[in-house]
Amino acid sequence: MSAIVRVRNLSRVFDVSKPWLNRVIERLPKARLRAVDDVSFEIEENACYALVGESGSGKSTIGKMVVGLLPPSQGSVEVMGVDLATEPEGERRVEVRANLQMIFQDPYASLNPRWKVRDIVAEPAVAQGKATDGLAEALLEKVGLSAVDAGKYPHEFSGGQRQRICIARALAGEPKVIICDEPTSALDVSVQSQVLNLMSDLRADLGLSYLFISHDLTVVRHMADTIGVLYLGALIEEAPRDRLFEDPKHPYTQMLFEAAPKMDAFGREIDPPKGEIPNPIDPPSGCPFHPRCPIAVDRCSVDRPELRWIGSTRVACHLAE
Amino acid sequence: MTDPVLSVQGLTVEIPGRRGILRPVDDVSFDIAAGEILGVVGESGAGKSMTGNAVIGLLDPPARISAGQVMLKGEPIHTTKGDAIRRIRGKRMGMIFQDPLTSLNPLLTIGDQLTETILQHLDVSEPEARRRAMTALDDVGIPAVEDRIDSYPHQFSGGMRQRVVIALALCAEPEVVIADEPTTALDVSVQAQVLALLKRLCREKGLAVMLITHDMGVIAETADRVAVMYAGRMAELGPVRDVVTVAHHPYTAGLMASTPDASRGEARLRQIPGSMPRLGNLPAGCPFHPRCDRVGEKCRHDPRPDLSVDGGRAACWFPLTEKAET
Amino acid sequence: MTDTPDHRPPEMQARPSRLRRAWESDFIYSFTRSPVAMVSAFVVVVLVLGAVFAPLIAPYDPFNPASLNLMNGFTPPGTANQFTGDVFVMGSDDQGRDVFSTILYGMRISLFVGFAAVLLAMTIGVTLGLIAAYVGGWVETIIMRIADVQLTFPAILVAMLIFGIAQGITPPEYRDQVAIWVLILAIGLSDWVQFARVVRGATLVEKNREYVQAARLVGRSGNAIMLRHILPNVLNPVLVIATISLALAIIAEATLSFLGVGAPPTKPSLGTLIRIGQEFMFSGEWWILIFPSATLLALALSINLLGDWLRDALNPKLRA
């Protein structure tokens, strides 16, 4: 297997300063938010790579940079061996970019309410100048809707059905990789399972690869082959699925697993995790997790740990072994 | 068990609409005892929030309680109106909403908001009210209360804000607390903190808590008993351990089976086909029958079942009585 | 592929005809539940039809000098003229013109100028608003600063200024012919700002919605996204403003004509008629003033009330 997407040292800085005049009057420096900090990973062909993290972990920003909705501040995204930021040939860039599609979190906002489903689904093909006769109908049937639905408007569908339409639209571009940004977090559980099953089927049938972005550990555990855990914009642990869940190395990963509600834990009395995610504008020194870490030592507040290999796990912690 | 603090019998909410009367809550009954957490679980549109609002008297017209009763310590409150219900609402029943930002006034310090609520409902002096406000904040685990009591809501993080909302709901020492998706807007690690806090306060203060959520995992960990709602009706009601281990209603079973669980190690998730019917368009018979894999003739044609057909446990003609093989 | 049987409610499986769906839509429902909207719509329709079919309805042709008889001057409404025996429903003016007919013809001018001016304002405003919000940067700054500056002057002043300049550069012999078009230009240019502001606001919201991101992602051009995706979704507020602007434009036209800088007396609009009428207010010939004024009032008020209702009906927040 070879990597279809290579993300190298990806960083993104947002300028979150107050307006210029306020800064002058209040004598404030420019405020910068490092939303994504030096993240590298690879997505194998026909694999599902998941990024998990809580709010502010930068997972959605990474998704947007991979798909090209946001330019990276530093680093590169390489798709099928082509670096999209530096590739000089415009045509090649368009061609490679067409292999990336995205499914968004909110199935209500991601479909133009004034368009018929037929036009929505066929839009990627229209943009690529391909024939669209019967395309929407065929794709709708592929995602478990019926061809008749092509003539309807989005508001006639439920949340789960809308997400199917979004998937059909993504497929119309004949992508190799689909970036899924919290594709089921707006859906009810019973509908979520329908959509997840559909995504698994499509991956098997069409040889798709997924970059799956989610905060939900149970969903990630079901879908992913490899999982990267993000904290404050940085990748702090990455491992194959089973290995990560059986033997989490990073204290943050351990805390996340411990805190997640479990079906079989009746009246469980856990010692809830300490503290909250720090303000990303003013992140802690050293290891970003050290103020909340139960095993932190002096070194953690000074020295920022690099990712290092332990078996098949990559972990950024001084103490993990 | 002692007498229930909150007793809801046959509660029905109606919304007169253009295409007929909708019943977002239909014949719902449950009790909550002191120190007990009742989890109310269901998907969007199941009527769980509407039930909570009806109990505390916060229905927006034209929605109204058309039948049934809500009793607080044996005293009916569903007919109470105006000032009287407002007094009960702040004093004897508290409410915690999903979004902590919108339930706090951004222009008042949290100390002022707490003190005001306490003065309104308890007969205490102003310094005493402030002292109690500090205790309330301390109770919900806000560190350095002295320094933070005069801060504004935006100066708190999401989790801390939800703690303040809980303090606000509890500061007048209510008997019942209704928590409507209190952790949905929070991250996993903070959710665990808030749930642990809710459990502790419930036990320490002998509160009757109605915890409304869509997350079966939250219910399993936090609640003592669980009520599963579907299309405005009660589908199943029972002790949480029983319901989670052997669900009687096929909907409950399906709901849990569709939650991904690695311990089952399956390649495909179980799925309930279709989606919840719209209120204006409920099927005849059992409202779940078009999606049910155990459906029989009785389900399609007989009047819809209530909990009594399965000894008060599940509203199903053919309840599952042993653990379904996975 | 998927083993999901489709359990949609029957209402979604069989589809009623387009007409039937339109009739059952919330929009029509809200209309039939609002007496104010229905009465206003009725008044507007009657007046517009009257203006459109003026040549068929009007008993006299007020602009044909051959048909005028000065003996008919100042005939009170509904009574026979003492010299000619002619009867005028709303009386006649100083030159013996039938007031009812002049109102019908005057309304044609007023409505034409109103509609055309709003169309112009809307085209300019929507285009600039869309571009400002979508392109951003210095383009946005320039457009919106111009809008702000214009907004600090009363619209009627701006219109008078434009009217004056345009009249000044037109040779005198053409002035009466182009007066109507100059009027449209003046009112249209004085009114684009609110369209631009509203469209810019709505576009800023829409352009961050995920469906726009999805369109960017598949490589649609900026133009396609603006015109095909965003524009249809910002038209609701535009429609509301256009309706209310129509009432304002008709009044602006009347004001200009009343001040004598608008429609020429040879092609009188409602405003011109009111100006003529007010000369006779205190000499007892009230009908020459009152009937055109009442028509203007009814027209502007009905359109305005219709606009108010439209705003409520299109506001998703107010929908039950």
Rounded to an integer, what distance in angstroms lies between the CA atom of residue C274 and that of residue C268? 10
For chain C, count helices (H), then strands (E). 15, 0
Give the pLDDT band (50/70/90) at residue B326. Answer: very low
The CATH code of the domain that includes B238 is: 3.40.50.300
- pLDDT per residue over C79-93, tens digit each? 777 777 777 778 777
**Does the pLDDT of residue C274 top 60, yes or no?**
yes
Give the closest of B44, B157, B216 to A263, CB-based.
Answer: B216
From B256's Cα to the closest Cα of chain A, the distance in A is: 8
| Look-up of token digits 């009114």 | C191
Domains plus CATH for chain A?
3-99+175-315 (3.40.50.300)
Contacts for C110 with CB less than 8 Å, ≥ 6 apart: C51, C250, C253, C254, C269, C270, C271, C296, C299
Amino acid code (one letter) for B148: R
pLDDT at position C125: 94
Question: Of the given ranges (A123-127, A226-230, B24-28, B102-106), which has the lowest mean pLDDT?
Answer: B102-106
The answer on pLDDT for B325 being more than 60 is no
Which stretch of A26-35, B77-86, C13-22 has the lowest confidence by average pLDDT?
A: C13-22
Lowest mean pLDDT segment, chosen from B9-13, B206-210, C14-18:
C14-18
Whether B110 and B12 map to the same domain: the answer is: no
Pair (B115, B228) in one structural domain: no
Would you state the pLDDT for residue C13? 42
User: B141 with B213, same domain?
Assistant: no
* Residue type, position B301, single letter: H
pLDDT of amino acid C22: 60
Q: How many CA atoms lie within 13 A of B321 on its CB side?
A: 4
Q: Give the tens place of pLDDT for each residue, B145-196.
A: 888 888 888 888 777 888 888 888 888 888 899 999 888 877 888 888 888 8
Q: In this structure, is the dihedral angle defined by the CA atoms of residues C232, C237, C243 and C248, taken in order, positive or negative? A: negative
Residue B97 lies in a domain: no
pLDDT confidence of residue C5: 41
In tens, the pLDDT along B219-249 reads: 888 899 999 999 888 999 999 888 888 888 8
Q: Show the beta-strand stretches assigned E in B124-224.
A: 176-180, 208-213
Mean pLDDT for all residues in chain C:
82
Residues B125 and B39 in one domain: no
Q: How many CB pairs under 8 A join A and C?
A: 70
Task: Write out pLDDT tens, residues C40-61.
Answer: 999 999 999 988 998 888 887 8
Neighbouring chains of B at 3+ CB pairs within 8 Å? A, C
Are A212 and A180 in contact, with CB atoms under 8 Å apart?
Answer: yes
- CB distance from C8 to chain B under 8 Å? yes
DSSP assignments along C250-267, one per residue: HHHHHHHHHTTSSS-TTS
Q: What is the pLDDT of residue C14?
A: 45
- List pLDDT tens digits, range C215-265: 888 878 888 888 888 998 888 889 989 999 999 999 998 888 888 787 777
Give the pLDDT confidence score for residue C12 in this predicted structure.
Answer: 44
How far apart CA A244 and CA A241 sit, in angstroms, is 5
Task: Kindly state whether residues B180 and B286 are assigned to the same domain.
Answer: yes
Residue A148 neighbours by CB under 8 Å, 6+ apart? none
Question: Among A178, A197, A194, which Cα is nearest to A50's?
Answer: A178
pLDDT of residue B262: 62
Domain count, chain B: 2
pLDDT value for C127:
94
CA distance A62 to A10: 8
User: Cβ A273–B214 below 8 Å, yes or no?
Assistant: no
At residue B155's C-alpha, the angle toward residues B151 and B158, to 5°, is 125
Q: Which amino acid makes up residue A316?
A: A
Spans of chain A below 50 pLDDT: none
**Contact residues, chain B, for A262 at CB < 8 Å:** 217, 220-221
Q: How confident is the model at residue B37 (pLDDT cuts 50, 70, 90)?
A: very high
How many angstroms separate the CA atoms of B128 and B125, rounded?
A: 5
Report angle CA A47, A49, A51 to the nearest 5 degrees. Answer: 170
pLDDT at B120 over 50: yes
* pLDDT tens-digit map of C141-188: 999 999 999 888 887 888 888 888 888 888 888 877 788 888 898 889
Q: Which amino acid is at C11?
A: E
- Among residues A157, A127, A130, A138, the alpha carbon closest in space to that of C229 is found at A127
Mean per-residue pLDDT of chain B: 84
Q: Tell which CATH classification among 1.10.274.10, 1.10.3720.10, 1.10.10.10, 1.10.10.60 matches the domain C97-315.
A: 1.10.3720.10
Task: Please say whether the beta carbons of A133 and A127 come within 8 A.
Answer: no
Query: Across the interface, do A215 and B187 touch by the CB < 8 Å criterion?
Result: yes
Q: How much is the pLDDT for C9?
A: 43
CB C207 within 8 A of CB C230: yes
C1: confidence class by pLDDT, cuts 50, 70, 90: very low
User: What's the pLDDT at A29?
Assistant: 79
Instruction: List, as ranges, residues 16-35 from C with C-beta within 8 Å of B.
Output: 29
Amino acid at A239: A
Percent of chain B clearing pLDDT 90 (strictly above)? 9
Structure-block tokens of residue B198:
């809710």
Query: In this structure, are residues C92 and C73 in contact, taking their beta carbons and an 8 Å threshold?
Result: yes
Whether residues B159 and B179 fall in one domain? no
Determine the residue of chain A that is closest to C206 in CA distance.
A109
Domain that holds residue B54: 1-92+175-187+203-261+269-321
Cis peptide before B62 (omega within 30 of 0): yes
The answer to whether B187 contacts A55, with C-beta atoms less than 8 Å apart, is yes
* Predicted local distance difference test score (pLDDT) of residue A121: 92
Of B187, B189, B269, the CB nearest to A222: B269
Question: Does C69 or B297 have the greater pLDDT score?
Answer: B297
Query: What pLDDT is attached to residue C18?
Result: 61
**What is the domain partition of chain C in residue ranges?**
97-315
Q: From residue A194, how far is each of A117, A142, B16 by CA, in Å?
A: 20, 14, 34
What ipTM is given for this predicted complex? 0.81
φ, ψ (nearest 5 deg) of residue A233: 85, -5
Distance between CA B27 and CA B49 in Å, rounded?
15
pLDDT in tens, B272-296: 887 788 877 788 888 888 888 888 8
β B208-213/B176-180 pair status: parallel
The CA-based dihedral angle spanning residues B60, B66, B72, B73, taken in that order and rounded to the nearest 10 degrees = 180
Residue C319: what pLDDT? 44
